[in-house]
Structure 1
Amino acid sequence: MKMKMTTQRIVKTAAIAAIYVALTLAFAFMSYGNIQFRLSEVMTLFAFFDPFYIPGLTLGCLIANLLGPNGILDAVVGTIATLISVILIALTGVKMRQSRVGIWIASIWPTLINAVMIGIMLNKLFELPLALTMLEVGIGEFVVITLAGVPLFKFLMKKHAILFDKLIKEKR
C-alpha cells in the first residue's frame, strides 16, 4: 500500500511524535530504566487501527530516547524495539481488527519485544540481572499498554465513537 505524502500527513506524523516525546519527558521519572511505566507507549495501539501512525510513533521514540538518560544505545535499540512492536501491532490489526480479542493480542507485542530488547540493553549498559530486568520491563509495558491502554481505547471506541473515528482513521 503506497501512502501519498501530503502536508497534512507530515503535520500529523510530527504531532504524534511530539505528543509521544512530551508524554515521555513529562513523566521521565518513570519512563526510563529497568522499572518503567512509559505512558506514551499507550499510543502504540494507534497502529492497530491504522499503520499511518508507525512513522510518528517511531520518530517520537527516537527523539525521547535521544533526550533520555541512557544515551545513543537506547536511541538505537529502543527505537528499533518500538518500530518492530508497532509493525506487529499494525499487522495484528490488519488480520484481527474485527475480532473482540484483536486489540488485546496486539497489545502484547510491545511487552514481548521491549522485555527482550530493552532488557538486554539495560543488562549491557548497567550490568543489571538479565532475567529480572526483562521481567521488569515487560511488566511495565504490560501494565501501561494492556491493562491501562486497551481499556482506554475500548472506552473511547464505545463512548466517543465519532471523535475516536476522526482521531484514528487517517484519510488517504
Structure 2
Amino acid sequence: MSSKSIARAGVIAAAYAASTLVVMIFLGNLAWGPVQFRVSEVLCVLALFTPDAVVGLTLGCVIANVANIALSGTGALGMLDVVFGSAATLVGALVTWKLRRHPAVALLGPVIANACIVPAYLPILLQATGFYTIPFTSIALDGSWLFMYVFGLASTGAGEAVIMYVLGYPLSRSLSRTPYFKDMSPFHCK
C-alpha cells in the first residue's frame, strides 16, 4: 500500500470508529443490540470509490467493537462482536467495492453481510449482557436461538438497509459530485 492509501484507510477507520462510539455514548444502544441502526455503516459507501475503504472500514469496526467491550462490560464475549461483526463489515465493504459499477446493487453487500452474520452470535452476546427478551415483545431468548436468528436477520437487515439506502445512497451520489471523489465515482457524473 502507498502512503496515500494508508492515510486514506486510517482516516476512514478513525471516522468509522469515532462515529460509532459517539452514537453509542449519546444515543444509547442504537449502534449495538437486537435492533441496530449503526449510523457509521453509512461510511460503507466509501467502498464505491476506493479499495482503501475496505481496510479502513474493517479496522474502524474492530476499534469500535474493542472500545465497546470496555464501555459495555461484555468482557471476553465481546470478542464475538470484534471478530464476527468486523468480518461482516469486511465482507460488506468488499462486496461493495467489487460491485461498485452498480452502486444500488453494491450497497446490498453490507445489508446482506450484516443481516446474515451478526444475528448468528448476537443472541449469545445479548443474554450475557442482560437482554433476556426480544425488545418490544415478551419473547424469551432462552432456548430460541433459531427464532432470535430469524428476528435478527430481519431487524439487522432492515436497519442496515435503512442506513445504506436512505442515508448511504444519497450520500454516495453527493460525494460523486465533489472534486475529490469525482474521478473515482461509479456514477460517472460530469
Tell me the TM-score normalized by structure 1: 0.82
Q: How far is 1:130 from its partner?
A: 1.8
Given that residues 18 and 60 in structure 1 are in contact (C-alpha distance below 8 angstroms), is that contact kept between their aligned partners in structure 2? yes
Aligned residue-pair number: 156
Structure 1 Cα separation of the partners of residues 23 and 55 of structure 2 = 22
- AA of the residue aligned to 1:75: V
Structure 1 residue 165, shift from structure 2 partner: 2.6
Check conservation: 1:51, 1:90, Cα contact below 8 A: yes
Query: For residues 90 and 119 of structure 1, what CA distance do their matches in structure 2 show?
Result: 24
Identity of aligned residues (%): 34
Contiguous gaps of at least 5 residues in structure 1: none
Verify the 8 A CA contact 2:36 2:156 in the aligned structure 1: yes
**More helix as a share of residues:** 1
Read off the aligned partner of 2:48 and give its amino acid letter. Answer: F
Deviation of 1:8 after TM superposition, in Å, equals 2.8
RMSD, aligned α-carbons: 2.0
Larger radius of gyration: 2
Is 2:129 the partner of 1:133? no
Return 5+ residue gaps in structure 2 as ranges: 128-140, 142-147
Query: Closer, same or farther in 2 for the Cα pair 1:12/1:50, shift >3 Å?
Result: closer
Report the TM-score, using the length of structure 2 for normalisation: 0.75
Q: Deviations over 1:38-62 (max 9, x none)?
A: 1111111111222121111110011
Question: Is 1:25–2:21 an aligned residue pair?
Answer: yes
Task: State the shift of 1:147 in Å.
Answer: 1.9
The answer to whether the 8 A contact 1:24-1:38 is kept is: yes
Local SS of the residue matching 2:112: helix
Task: Determine if contact 2:16/2:57 at 8 Å carries over to the other structure.
Answer: yes
What is the identity, as a one-letter code, of the residue corresponding to 2:162? V
1:87 is matched with which residue? 94
